[in-house]
Amino acid sequence: MSRPLKKRVLRNRLLCCLCLLAASGFSDQSVTIAAEPAPIRFLKTWGQQGDKPGEFHFPIDIVINAGDEVFVTDHLNDRVQKFDRAGKLLGQFPVLPNPGGIALDKQGNLILSHILASGSSKHKIGDRISIYSPQGKLIRQWGKPGKGPREFNCPGGIAVADDGRIYVADQTNHRVQVFDPTGQFLFEWGKYGSQPGEFGGKGSPTSRVGGPQFLAFDSQGNLWTTEGANCRVQQFTAEGKLLQHWGTDADAPGGLGGYFSGFGGKPVKSLTGPIAVCIDKKDRLWISAVSGRVQQFSSTGKYLRGCGEKQGTAPGEFYAPHGMAFDSHGDLYVVDAYNHRIQKFAIGR
């Protein structure tokens, strides 16, 4: 047998052996190919600027209860409006002035934050937390302007832990305050700065967009916070121990930077960075940014997908998206604040 022929025979035998190995010893080892995330699909929108039922004047935050009733804080109309998941108005009720953040307590009551704003006499009441029944009955309230315990300076997002404790983003005091379900002060953490565990250090100390702004708990009971000035999110234990932080000021997919340009198309450099954070059932983070983006990240900060890459008024576009929430079907609702509307999306898997 010639040498070239021997080489071909040996090569063919080797290939046969490899095929046998693949068919026997390695046959139970499947190769998994990661699928691309499904696109985010726009479903519907409702609302426009105004003070009639179903209209909004700067909606801020949203929460959805177990019955898929959608509650929205209508900031400058001093009310909460309730809708079904199709956007049909179910009711509305007046609340203390300037409602912003909203969350559900363990009894299904609505916890609201209110900021103190200049203007008419009705807006002299603010910087406090209130609790309302789903029908609009005021149950309790606490807080006043200041820097001490149970005092606030532009309170923002609210989150409720599994044990019922209430966490409030005390925005311009650059801290998180924690209360029991009756509003009694428990503890706080945070201060002005840019170091890990601090808030808002790249912005003005008096800016309420410095952070912390919005809050959300993941399935492990850890708390996530957003900061506009530092263009980052931070993760803490429920007791305030820092676990991680990430984010960049890039104005591109995966970044949390960029400026709001809703006033005549000119960037407003005092309005930048992420606004709200929402956690889905797989502990992925959904982060809205003042630049008009809503983006999904893994819990370690890996960018996965997003929508609203262009600021605007068309379906799927945003001007300063704020609060977000999921219904029982897994659909995502986004408060499109400066467009005075709610947008709803199917996120796939």
pLDDT digits (tens, 9 = 90+) for 193-231: 999 999 988 767 777 677 899 999 999 999 999 998 899
CA 278/CA 50 separation, integer angstroms: 27
Provide the β-strand partners of residue 174. none
CA 289/CA 128 separation, integer angstroms: 25
Q: pLDDT band for position 251 (50/70/90)?
A: confident
| Mean pLDDT, the chain, integer | 88
Question: Parallel, antiparallel, or unpaired for β 110-114 and 128-132?
Answer: antiparallel
Confidence (pTM): 0.88
> Lowest mean pLDDT: which of 83-87, 152-156, 260-264, 320-324?
260-264
Q: pLDDT band for position 261 (50/70/90)?
A: confident
Burial class (CB in 10 A: 0-12, 13-18, 19+), 47: buried
Nearest CA among 231, 243, 221, 230 for reference residue 200: 230
Provide the β-strand partners of residue 79. 74, 94
CA 181/CA 95 separation, integer angstroms: 19
Full strand arrangement of the beta sheet holding 341-346: 41-46, 341-346, 332-336, 321-326
CA 5/CA 10 separation, integer angstroms: 9
Judge: domain 45-346, CATH 2.120.10.30.
yes
Give the model confidence (pLDDT) of 54-111 as tens digits.
Answer: 999 999 999 999 999 999 999 999 999 999 999 999 999 999 999 999 999 999 999 9
Q: pLDDT band for position 152 (50/70/90)?
A: very high
Provide the β-strand partners of residue 176. 169, 189
pLDDT, position 207: 72
